[in-house]
Amino acid sequence: MIFDRGVNYIKEHGRPLERKLLEYYFFDGSKYDVLEELIKYHNSDGGFGKSLEPDFRAKESSVLCTCYALDIMIDLDFDATEACVTSAIKYLIDNYDRNSSTWRYIPELNEYYAHAPWWNQDKLSETFNNFVENPKAKICSYLLHFKEVVSESFSSKIMSEVLDYLEHRDNNISPDSILCYLKLLKCKNLSIDADYKIKKRLKALIPANIESNPEKWGEYNLKPVDVISSNDSPFIDSIIDIFNTNLDYVVETQNSDGSWPVCWTWGDVFPENWHTAEREWMGIVTLERLKLLKEFQRI
């Protein structure tokens, strides 16, 4: 029942992209059908835009949307021979800020477009801690994963900087930054030394920052199910009890229409556009919840 309701919601209300991803993950669909939808968000400069990430609705390419696209292509096991992959990696390299050794998440644009308040151009660097972890650690994972099209000296430089920052930072870290490190930990071609250092720090950072109060799981924070995506996670043993409670919470909070709610809003800005973005996010979140529940045999 949970599964059927979720599937019906995505089929009726999800974007074509999420509908194709649903087919791929659950009904033996083709990853090339997914790619066909993903390409619709691709721009001539090699990057991705056009509201692929629903909270940022500019048509121009952004590091934000390009990362979103690369996450999908990696999950679907596309390699560096795919033109969209190589062009996306080139876009990221072209948009690297050599002065700060970071990537600005979104381009400096006149704010003609609808967007969530945290994507305001004003104080963007401050909001995202000067981009030194988010998205830098995540982008490092792409550079390693697609090493065939990236200079080894460049990827090694970025990896060294990411590890140095992680080693010396305090334990007060944003949920999204932890997710960036988790993505890096899972990437192909990660060295044994880097794997050890990242795991060591995350074993301290995750317990210190995870939200264990079920009454707060409807808010935006780091939940156990955000950290654990499979039974072979190196962090599952330390939070197994609260993780199982969080899984129960996920099952119990499915809406009657089959969707799962999002845990953020745009407040009172761009209300009509937020309605569209929220609907798109609900399709995305519902797909992710179905994948999670399938992995842990709850559906």
Q: What is the pLDDT of residues 238-281, one digit of tens each?
A: 999 999 999 999 999 999 999 999 999 999 999 999 999 999 99
Q: For residue 110, what pLDDT is reported?
A: 84
Q: Which residue has the tokens 């990242």?
A: 198
Q: For residue 230, what pLDDT is reported?
A: 93
What's the token pair of residue 88? 């996306």
Tell me the β-bridge partners of 115.
56
Question: What's the predicted TM-score (pTM) here?
Answer: 0.97
Question: Within a 10 A sphere around the Cβ of 255, how many other Cβ atoms?
Answer: 13
Nearest CA to 223 among 274, 263, 192, 181?
263
Q: For residue 33, what pLDDT is reported?
A: 98
Rounded to an integer, what distance in angstroms lies between the CA atom of residue 157 and that of residue 151?
A: 10
Q: For residue 73, what pLDDT is reported?
A: 98
Nearest CA to 24 among 42, 12, 36?
36
Q: For residue 102, what pLDDT is reported?
A: 98
Per-position b or e across 144-158, b if 16+ CB within 10 A of its CB: bbbeeebeeeebeeb
What's the token pair of residue 26? 């659950």
Where the chain has pLDDT below 50, the residues are none
Rounded to an integer, what distance in angstroms lies between the CA atom of residue 279 and that of residue 283?
A: 7
Q: 233, exposed or middle or buried, with CB in 10 Å at 0-12, 13-18, 19+?
A: middle
Contact of 23 with 33, CB cutoff 8 Å: yes
State which amino acid sits at residue 70: L
Contact of 82 with 148, CB cutoff 8 Å: no
**132-143 pLDDT, tens digit each:** 999 999 999 999
